Structure 1
Amino acid sequence: MDFVNLPLLAASALVFISVLAGLFSVRIGFSFLLVFLGAGILAGEDGLGGYRFDDYRLSFWVGNLALAVILLDGGMRTNYARFRTGLRPASVLATVGVLICAAITALAGVLFVGLDWRTALLLGSIVGSTDAAAVFALLTRSGVVLNERVAATLEIESGMNDPMAVYLTLTFIALLAPGASSGSAWSAVALSFLQQFGWGGLIGVGGGFAMAALLRRVATRQVESGILALLIGASGLSVFAATGMAGGSSFLAVYLFGLIVANRAAKVVGPTLAAMDGYAWLAQAGMFLLLGLLVTPSRMLDSVVPALAVVLTLIFVARPVAVWLCLRPFHYTARETWYISWVGLRGAVPIVLALFPLLAGTPQAGLLFNIAFMVVLTSLLTQGSTIALMARKLGVAMPDPADERQLRAVFLDFQFDPKTPVGSICEFYGLPMPADASMPLGDWMVAQLRRAPVAGDSVRMGAAALVVREVAGGKISSLGLGLKD
């Protein structure tokens, strides 16, 4: 039985050591994901373990399976209210934003790596999207609560931008294939776009409604939450696989499936979330460990400098430009926009996408894989370890309910009913009188914001500041006011 026991012992010991190291690493700001990745590297060919692993097909299979579980769990934790808050801006970021990121990163690939334009655009496509595994895990465990608009935008973007990245990656692999004619390739690209998003949305939404109805029926019986979690997980993977077989975006389908199931059958799904969280963490651990094993650092030395140039361009130029352009119509504050720009986390998705050209035999596929790994490593080290710090610095973190000083600093000293006429407030405090003094204070603030309000939104009114304390049913239910110097 050694052929069973030895691999099992090695794998379980590696996971145990990684999780234990991760528990300590969180205290100094490093993410679990980075620890898992590092453990895989240490166990690999250039590490202490010395194990040579180069099974790209297995890695690709495990990576897709893990991403399906992670996206399913992420969709199940996104409620409809938050989804509506961030859907429009996140959709633009997940499509147009990925295109802009890919194009600017491709320019860096041409300038710093010496790639031709098609290969450079393939590189930009591979690293152009944020990563759901990294975003869901690190935002949840960052120790800060973001305002609803920022959190919803980041989560929905990461859940919905993988389809665009996969689509672009497959497109440029096809264009780089020997004998591919540009005319036939571009017509296939247009058809693929419709298939990916059409089938992905249709099967994900349809499957979600059907599964929610089924869960409401079986929940009338005495069924353990663990069994229901297994049922949901199996159905989500079935939707993922069926969508892929139909030519649609499996990533989009499984995220929408989880979102609809959790919101249409909330009472049934609620008790299963703990088990689903365990599945998601197991998927993340296995995926990052395996991807770490796949990497051979000694083969990356020649490409470190150009790869870092690409990474820095992506983090400090491509991502901020894409976010500022995409969010400009939605009236986000400068602080919110800068924070969303910073939390453009890259995780397992770029490495998994970098396996596509390796499996397809695309020229320079090894170089693209090495650069993708450098992008992930640098992103987790810099952006992943500073999520909480940057949230506090930029003022997008909500206060701790137990900290009275923080609450007063954010929500200000005086509480008002949003139905109070704005004119009476201005008259009492000697503030500039608006054109319509009879307008309710809450409506006046929404008009000034020019967007749906969330807790923490603020507006200046002469020498005073107004802040949204609470929102109920999409409307302001409580306001705070404070006098500023």
Structure 2
Amino acid sequence: MLTSSFNIDYFILLSAMLLIVGVVTTKFSTRLGVPALILFILVGMITGSDGLGIISFDNAKMAQLIGVFALIIILFEGGLQTKWATVKAVTKPSLSLATIGVILTTGAVAVAAKLILDVTWLEGFLFGAIVGSTDAAAVFAVLKGQNIKARLGATLEAESGSNDPMAMFLTISVIELILVDEASYLPLIGTFFWQMGIGLVIGLALGKLAVFAINRINLDSSGLYPVFALAFALLTYSATALVGASGLLAVYIAALLVGNSDLTYRQSIFRFNEGFAWMAQIMMFTILGLLVFPTQLFTFDIIWKGLLLSIFLILIARPIAVFASTINMGYSLKEKVFLSWAGLRGAVPIVLATFPMIAGIENSQLFFNVVFFVVLTSCLIQGSTISILAEKLGLTGPKKSEAPHTLELVSIGKANAEIIEFEVSKTTPIVGKTLNDIQFPEDVLINAIIRSSDLVTPQGNTIIEDGDILYILVAKKSKRELKDMLNNGSVAGMTL
């Protein structure tokens, strides 16, 4: 009994220490210019059985479960934070990169894997499929706060949020072809359209249901709303996966819809999921770091093969995919070069590399070690130089400013009023006008204005400027009218 209690307490202590170390490493990652996920992986490798020996972990099934769960959280948070008005303009190239781009990358890498790893053609395609997609967790983490041009950032985020299903589909399909002697290729085409089509439909349906339920339910505690929203993310994935469709695609689509809708307790939902997504990243990358054994990874055989495949993926396969997938889509040569370099690999390839291990595929351990090395080099080399390359190519925009959420945004209990946040842009109808000149709807009051991180007390002669963040108290019955007035019918900029 005492031993059991000690083990539980030991596990809780280790969890606390890993989270603390994970959070602290994010501070060092900024100073060192290294993506935080690299440090999370290193924490796992150092504390693992091949490192300090604090934690012994080699359960591929458990790592896969934790990885998929974390990806759901990360994709949901990424979709919530993505503005549809920005993504809408890059839907075509993003989808092209997420489908054609992944297929082209898979095919190109398959040839290199066949020659470098000395495996069969099907095994080469399996390796190519595993590393074929960019990683949402890595891309979201590296681009957050960067002043890269909005169109390029939106393209990368939309691509990474929607290409995981294609990589997973290809990986599972190739595994089935390897395991089944007389497998047919034709049914895979129908399976692909089923997974993507049904995933899209369920994502839209459950996203709308989530918005309806969140706004209509009247919970006693505001802290339950973020949990309620997260439950819909998990429901979306599981319901979609149970019918054989792409759960990850459905989650991202549902999150896009939820994040761009009017929501009760919006800020509480966003802040909770942002923190939970960070915890999921720390947990996932640390666990994946525990799963690898440095004595097996850092051998001469793995290093030279991994380096050759990394160089081929970064300098040849990814550029081929980008240039071919974005033909006649309005991207300049410099922008295509940047998109090629910014194709980060991260957790998804490592999680996908556990599928062959669980299926008992020959060379699965070799694949896992090489994939892990490819991810490390991708994150370390590409992730730490993205902002530098963007500046060299002249692809940076105005420095992004985070809204200072020192004023808690709330739906005021069961009262019929809310405090909302609105960021003024050049196209906002009220920009350049004084408060006296603006005909606000009934029961609307400007509580505060944040201008360049300074608090401006609203007065009748206060002029609204581009970049101002307004905190507005509004009766719920007037919220729709206020939104229409500020955005001319668009939800862009309104945080409800």
Category of TM-score, reference length = shorter chain: 0.7 to 0.9
Is 1:180 aligned to 2:181, yes or no?
A: yes
Counterpart of 2:241 (choices 233, 240, 244) is 244
SS at match of 2:185: helix
Give the stretch that moved more between structures: 76-85 or 286-295: 76-85
SS at match of 1:330: coil
Partner of 2:45: 41
Give the whole-Å Cα distance in 1 for the aligned partners of 2:305 and 2:152.
Answer: 33
Counterpart of 1:66 (choices 67, 70, 73) is 70
Alpha-carbon spacing, 1:367–1:79, altered in 2? closer, same or farther (3 Å): same
Structure 1 unaligned blocks of 5 or more: 403-416, 418-471, 475-485
Deviation at 1:11, TM superposition (A): 2.1
TM alignment of 1:19-418, pairs within 5 A: 19-49=23-53, 51-141=55-145, 144-177=146-179, 179-182=180-183, 185-218=184-217, 223-224=221-222, 226-266=223-263, 268-300=265-297, 301=299, 302-400=301-399
Give the whole-Å Cα distance in 1 for the aligned partners of 2:267 and 2:87.
Answer: 17
Give the whole-Å Cα distance in 2 for the aligned partners of 1:266 and 1:312.
Answer: 45
Length-normalised TM-score, structure 2: 0.78
Q: Which digits, 9 at most, give the CA deviation of each residue in 1:186-240, with x for residues without a partner?
A: 1331232122112211111110011111122136x6651x321111111101111
SS at match of 1:146: coil
Give the stretch that moved more between structures: 316-325 or 6-15: 6-15
Give the whole-Å Cα distance in 1 for the aligned partners of 2:323 and 2:134.
Answer: 16
Give the whole-Å Cα distance in 1 for the aligned partners of 2:58 and 2:275.
Answer: 28
Length-normalised TM-score, structure 1: 0.79
Identity %: 38
Give the whole-Å Cα distance in 2 for the aligned partners of 1:133 and 1:243.
Answer: 21
Amino acid at match of 1:159: G
Give the count of matched residue pairs: 401
Partner of 1:448: none
Deviation at 1:98, TM superposition (A): 0.2
Q: Which digits, 9 at most, give the CA deviation of each residue in 1:321-372, with x for residues without a partner?
A: 1111111220111121111111101110000000111111111111111111
Give the whole-Å Cα distance in 1 for the aligned partners of 2:264 and 2:391.
Answer: 34
- The structure in which a higher percent of residues are helix is 1
Residue 233 of structure 2 contacts residue 254 of structure 2 at CA under 8 Å; is this kept in 1?
A: yes
Give the whole-Å Cα distance in 1 for the aligned partners of 2:120 and 2:30.
Answer: 41
Alpha-carbon spacing, 1:267–1:295, altered in 2? closer, same or farther (3 Å): same
Give the whole-Å Cα distance in 1 for the aligned partners of 2:399 and 2:123.
Answer: 48
Amino acid at match of 1:23: K
Deviation at 1:15, TM superposition (A): 2.2
Residue 101 of structure 2 contacts residue 325 of structure 2 at CA under 8 Å; is this kept in 1?
A: yes
Alpha-carbon spacing, 1:209–1:309, altered in 2? closer, same or farther (3 Å): same
Deviation at 1:146, TM superposition (A): 1.9
SS at match of 2:34: coil
Residue 215 of structure 1 contacts residue 265 of structure 1 at CA under 8 Å; is this kept in 2?
A: no
Amino acid at match of 1:261: V
Residue 147 of structure 2 contacts residue 400 of structure 2 at CA under 8 Å; is this kept in 1?
A: no
Give the whole-Å Cα distance in 2 for the aligned partners of 1:160 and 1:150.
Answer: 15
Give the whole-Å Cα distance in 1 for the aligned partners of 2:85 and 2:221.
Answer: 29
Deviation at 1:268, TM superposition (A): 4.2
Residue 214 of structure 2 contacts residue 264 of structure 2 at CA under 8 Å; is this kept in 1?
A: no
Amino acid at match of 1:296: F
Amino acid at match of 2:399: D
SS at match of 1:397: coil
Alpha-carbon RMSD across the aligned residues, in angstroms, is 2.1
Residue 40 of structure 1 contacts residue 292 of structure 1 at CA under 8 Å; is this kept in 2?
A: yes
Amino acid at match of 1:49: G
Q: Which digits, 9 at most, give the CA deviation of each residue in 1:34-78, with x for residues without a partner?
A: 110000000112212353311111101000000000001111111
Q: Which runs of 4+ in 1 moved over 3 A?
A: none
Give the whole-Å Cα distance in 2 for the aligned partners of 1:390 and 1:95.
Answer: 26
Residue 215 of structure 2 contacts residue 263 of structure 2 at CA under 8 Å; is this kept in 1?
A: no
Residue 150 of structure 2 contacts residue 397 of structure 2 at CA under 8 Å; is this kept in 1?
A: no
Amino acid at match of 2:310: V
SS at match of 1:236: helix
Deviation at 1:298, TM superposition (A): 1.2
Residue 346 of structure 1 contacts residue 379 of structure 1 at CA under 8 Å; is this kept in 2?
A: yes
Give the stretch that moved more between structures: 18-27 or 165-174: 18-27
Partner of 1:447: none
Residue 113 of structure 1 contacts residue 307 of structure 1 at CA under 8 Å; is this kept in 2?
A: no
Deviation at 1:271, TM superposition (A): 3.6
Residue 31 of structure 1 contacts residue 138 of structure 1 at CA under 8 Å; is this kept in 2?
A: yes
Structure 2 unaligned blocks of 5 or more: 402-426, 428-486, 490-496
SS at match of 2:100: helix
Alpha-carbon spacing, 1:261–1:19, altered in 2? closer, same or farther (3 Å): same
Alpha-carbon spacing, 1:223–1:52, altered in 2? closer, same or farther (3 Å): closer
